[in-house]
Structure 1
Amino acid sequence: MPLLAPHVAQVPASGIRRIHELALRLDGVIGLAIGEPDVPVAPHILAEGSAAWLEDDTDYTPNGGILPLREAVREKLHRRNGIDVDLEQIWVTNGATQALHLAMSLTLGPGDEVLLPDPGYTTFAMNAQMLHAVAVPYPLRPDAAFLPDLGELERLVGERTRLLVINSPSNPLGAVFPPEVVAALLDFAARHDLWVLSDEVYEEFTYGSPHTSVAALDRDGRVFSAFSVSKTYALTGARVGYLVTPPGFATELRIYQEAIISCVNTPAQRAAVAAIRGDQEHVGRAAAHYRENLAAATALLDERGIRYLEPTGAFYLWIDVSHASEGDVAGWAERFLLEQRVSVAPGSAFGRTGEGWIRVCAAASRDDLLEGLSRLPAPAPA
């Protein structure tokens, strides 16, 4: 039988999915491993998507997306992100996951290096391997409040480096990079003539730290930005994201979109228009729900003496369990699931720097979240 391409075996598996799929085979599990919003979709969004199906609005759309959605995104980018673009810079994608892959496909060739946050979203490294590129993690360390170290980035950048990935608000950290850090990262990219890919999927969920869009500071057209309606509007299964590009890539993107997905399904695009242009009060309620959950969770962790990173964005808690995991947090998370019936994402799934930590999703019922955290082992008294 023919063999698969050699690079296939090098693509890292998802340590999050491993835990999640094991949890699905068990009874009575409190699920805190997957980033799934627990709030309902607003009725006006569901109504528009349903209307599209009932009207049989199911034909192909332009590769870049339906015009009303691209126009809605352009207005939102101006209003919310401080980014002014032409419609040809907006490309509707199959979730932000495809937006990330599309941007990396355009900027990375075989053997090219990409600087990735560590801990960072697992798809970053997976994409690099699938594209025959080389993932070069830049550590985000506890002693630096998990913020990038520019000196370390300077040591890691090389002749083959082509792309810098930035993720704020961060998955898995629940951290928001201050504006001065974002500006410094962009300056670093300019000094080394790098492309920048900014993952801003959790832009609407920040707590005391304002979100800064990298492209709003871009003055020389090097930033690609990935956004999504998945988390903001609890539309994870609709699979609608969008990639915002520097000027001048319409020809290439039209070709790439046609080859990869052709287009995103029409009913989902219509639902996304309703989401972006409609009333946003439900987004504010979701943000308040996540903020209140995080406050209750951190109060419980404080009471139990368990260390964590103070969350300033997204809906995740980054928790230190090194006192219990004995240098193998992936194995510990699996045992914790089997013994305590709580699923959490092992930090090592997000990179080497995540060893000893776990990611907990706070987009859950308050009772489930607090019960799950109450089952974590507390460190021994000093």
Structure 2
Amino acid sequence: MPEIAAHIAAMPGSGVRHILERALRRPDTIILAVGEPGEIVGRQVRDVAAGAWREGDLRYTPNGGLPLLREAIVDKLARENGLRVDVEQVWVTVGATQALHMAMALALSRGDEVLVPDPGYTTFTMNAHLLQATPVPYPLHPEREFQPDLDELEALVSPRTRAIIVNTPSNPLGSTFDRPTLEALLALARRHDLWVISDEVYERFTWGRPHVSIASLDADGRVLSVFSMSKTYAMTGARVGWLVTPPGWRPTMLRVQESLVSCVDAPSQRAAAAALAGDGSDVDRAAAHYRDNLAAATAALDARGIRYLAPTGAFYLWVDVSHASGGDVVTWCERFLDEAGVAVAPGSAFGASGEGWIRVCVASDRASLLEGLRRLPAPA
């Protein structure tokens, strides 16, 4: 029997999914490990998708997406992100996951290097391996509130470096980069002629600091921006995201999109267009729920003396359990699940800099969240 390709065999798995699979086999587990919104998408959006199915709107759609959705995205980007783009710069994808993969495939050739945040979303590293590129972690240190050290980052650039991934608001950290930091990152990319791949999936959930799209600061077309309906509109299963490219890429994008997925299904696209055309009340309600859960959760951790990174975005808490994990947070998370019945994501699943930390999703109901946090061991 032929062997699977060597670079696929060496591809790392998801440490978060590992914990989730264990949790799903255990009854009555409190699951705080996965970034699943606790809200439900509005009925009017669900009705649009259901109507498309009832009407048999199940044909192929254009490679780039339905015109009504692409136009709605163009309007949204101008209104909320300060981005003035043409419809042909917007490519509807199967969630942000495909958009990220496509952006990295466009930027990286075999043997190229890509700078990825550490701690950072697991798919950044997984995609690099899948594309036979090399992920080079740029550490985000707790003593700097997990903000990038630009000198340290620049020292990682080599002749093979082709791109840098920027993720704000951050999954897993719940942190954000301010405008001066983004300007500095963009300047570094210009100095070394790098692509910038910007993951902005949690853009609508920021706490005390406005979201800035790095492409709004870009003067020479080096930013590829990734967005999603999944978290903002609680549409994780509908699988709708989009990639924003520099102008003039239509011939290339037609080929790439056709080779990967051809197109995204019509019912999900119509639902996404309806969500973007809404009054935003569902998103505001979700944001208020996540913000209030974060406030309750941080108060509970403060009361027990458990250290965490003060969240400025997304719906995660990055919690220090080094006092209990003994230098192996993966094993500790497995034991915590088995003994306490709570699933949390090990920080080292997001990179070596995450050792001793865990990611807690606060998007669930508050009672489950607080009970799960109550079971965490406090420092002696």
Give the TM interval when normalised to the shorter protein.
Answer: over 0.9
Looking at structure 2, the residues matched to 24 and 287 of structure 1 have their Cα atoms a distance apart, in angstroms, of 27
Query: Match for 2:371: what amino acid?
Result: E
Looking at structure 2, the residues matched to 28 and 159 of structure 1 have their Cα atoms a distance apart, in angstroms, of 51
- Deviation digits for residues 213-256 of structure 1, max 9, x if unmatched? 01000000000000000000000000000000111211111111
- Aligned ranges for residues 144-183 of structure 1 at < 5 Å? 144-183=144-183
Deviation at 1:270, TM superposition (A): 0.1
Query: Match for 1:271: what amino acid?
Result: A
- Aligned ranges for residues 25-174 of structure 1 at < 5 Å? 25-174=25-174
- Aligned ranges for residues 248-287 of structure 1 at < 5 Å? 248-287=248-287
Looking at structure 2, the residues matched to 349 and 249 of structure 1 have their Cα atoms a distance apart, in angstroms, of 35
Query: Match for 1:23: what amino acid?
Result: A
> Which residue number in structure 2 is paired with residue 215 of structure 1?
215
Looking at structure 1, the residues matched to 270 and 248 of structure 2 have their Cα atoms a distance apart, in angstroms, of 27
Deviation at 1:44, TM superposition (A): 1.1
> Which residue number in structure 1 is paired with residue 234 of structure 2?
234
Percent identity (aligned): 63
Q: Does residue 17 of structure 1 match 2:17?
A: yes
> Which residue number in structure 1 is paired with residue 362 of structure 2?
362
Deviation at 1:279, TM superposition (A): 1.7
Query: Match for 2:147: what amino acid?
Result: L
> Which residue number in structure 1 is paired with residue 205 of structure 2?
205
Looking at structure 1, the residues matched to 248 and 142 of structure 2 have their Cα atoms a distance apart, in angstroms, of 40
Looking at structure 2, the residues matched to 208 and 134 of structure 1 have their Cα atoms a distance apart, in angstroms, of 35
Query: Match for 1:265: what amino acid?
Result: D
Q: Does residue 374 of structure 1 match 2:368?
A: no
> Which residue number in structure 2 is paired with residue 347 of structure 1?
347
Looking at structure 2, the residues matched to 249 and 333 of structure 1 have their Cα atoms a distance apart, in angstroms, of 45
- With structure 2 as the length reference, what TM-score do the two structures score? 1.00
Looking at structure 2, the residues matched to 150 and 9 of structure 1 have their Cα atoms a distance apart, in angstroms, of 34
Query: Match for 1:272: what amino acid?
Result: A
SS at match of 1:38: coil
SS at match of 1:237: coil
> Which residue number in structure 1 is paired with residue 316 of structure 2?
316
Looking at structure 2, the residues matched to 314 and 235 of structure 1 have their Cα atoms a distance apart, in angstroms, of 16
Query: Match for 1:149: what amino acid?
Result: D
- Deviation digits for residues 264-323 of structure 1, max 9, x if unmatched? 000000000001111201100100100000000000000000000000100000000000
The alignment's C-alpha RMSD in Å is 0.5
Query: Match for 1:79: what amino acid?
Result: R
Deviation at 1:154, TM superposition (A): 1.2
SS at match of 1:378: coil
Looking at structure 2, the residues matched to 218 and 154 of structure 1 have their Cα atoms a distance apart, in angstroms, of 19
Moved more, 314-323 or 1-10: 1-10
Q: Does residue 329 of structure 1 match 2:326?
A: no
Structure 1 runs of 4+ aligned residues shifted over 4 Å read: none
Looking at structure 2, the residues matched to 333 and 139 of structure 1 have their Cα atoms a distance apart, in angstroms, of 22
Query: Match for 1:233: what amino acid?
Result: Y
- Deviation digits for residues 172-202 of structure 1, max 9, x if unmatched? 0001111110111011101110000000000
